[in-house]
């Protein structure tokens, strides 16, 4: 299973989430920041995991926007995706972790299939959600008849 984890962060919460997924669940995956994203062929990955951050008024950062436009050129019909983005629910339901909705729509438009509904995580609850993410990825591997490289029972 070829997996890539792509994150964007300013204060580190989305880096922490992506590092958790990489270090504790999928150590064989590629972990990459959107800030220094050099176009790889995303279609080569079976599973694309994204941890995007949200700033402004529910908007993408400049680097995220560049990545968003890059996705326009991608055809990801053979790939699955999981989006888990940390935001701040005090910004209200319309803006809260809105980058998750923006990227989920874009990946779906590129033809990728979601392994679960997009996850919007309040920064205060990020640690709790890690367990849920672990379960989602475990279930996904199980359904594919695969075992994870490390025992991740939490």
Which residues contribute to the site for ligand FMN (CB under 6 A)?
9-14, 53-58, 86-88, 91, 95-98, 123
Closest CA to 71 of 81, 84, 56: 81
Instruction: Give 97 or 112: the residue with its C-beta nearer to ligand FMN.
Output: 97
Q: How far is the CB of 86 from ligand FMN (least distance, A)?
A: 5
Q: How far is the CB of 65 from ligand FMN (least distance, A)?
A: 14
Q: How far is the CB of 75 from ligand FMN (least distance, A)?
A: 29
| Range 149-154, long-range pairs (CB < 8 A, 24+ positions) | 149/26, 149/27, 149/28, 150/24, 150/25, 150/27, 152/24, 152/25, 154/130
Instruction: Give 29 or 52: the residue with its C-beta nearer to ligand FMN.
Output: 52
Query: Shortest Cβ contact with ligand FMN: which residue?
Result: 87
Instruction: Give 11 or 105: the residue with its C-beta nearer to ligand FMN.
Output: 11
Which residue matches tokens 């300013």? Answer: 10
Q: How far apart are CA 25 and CA 143, in angstroms?
A: 16
Q: How far is the CB of 50 from ligand FMN (least distance, A)?
A: 12
CB 100 within 8 A of CB 83: yes
Structure tokens at 116: 């679960």
Instruction: Give 88 or 140: the residue with its C-beta nearer to ligand FMN.
Output: 88
């Amino acid at each position: 299973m070829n997996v890539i984890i792509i994150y964007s962060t300013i204060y580190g919460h989305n880096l922490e989430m992506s590092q958790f997924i990489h270090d504790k669940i999928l150590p064989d995956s590629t972990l990459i920041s959107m800030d220094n994203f050099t176009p790889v062929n995303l279609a080569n990955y079976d599973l694309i995991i994204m941890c995007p951050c949200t700033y402004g008024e529910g908007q993408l950062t400049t680097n995220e926007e560049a990545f968003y436009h890059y996705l326009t050129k991608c055809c990801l019909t053979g790939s699955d995706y999981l989006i888990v983005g940390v935001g701040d629910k005090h910004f209200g339901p319309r803006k809260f972790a809105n980058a998750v909705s923006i990227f989920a729509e874009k990946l779906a438009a590129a033809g990728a299939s979601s392994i679960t509904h997009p996850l919007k995580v309040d920064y205060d609850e990020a640690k709790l959600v890690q367990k849920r993410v672990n379960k989602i990825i475990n279930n996904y591997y199980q359904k594919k008849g695969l075992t994870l490289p490390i025992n991740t029972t939490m």
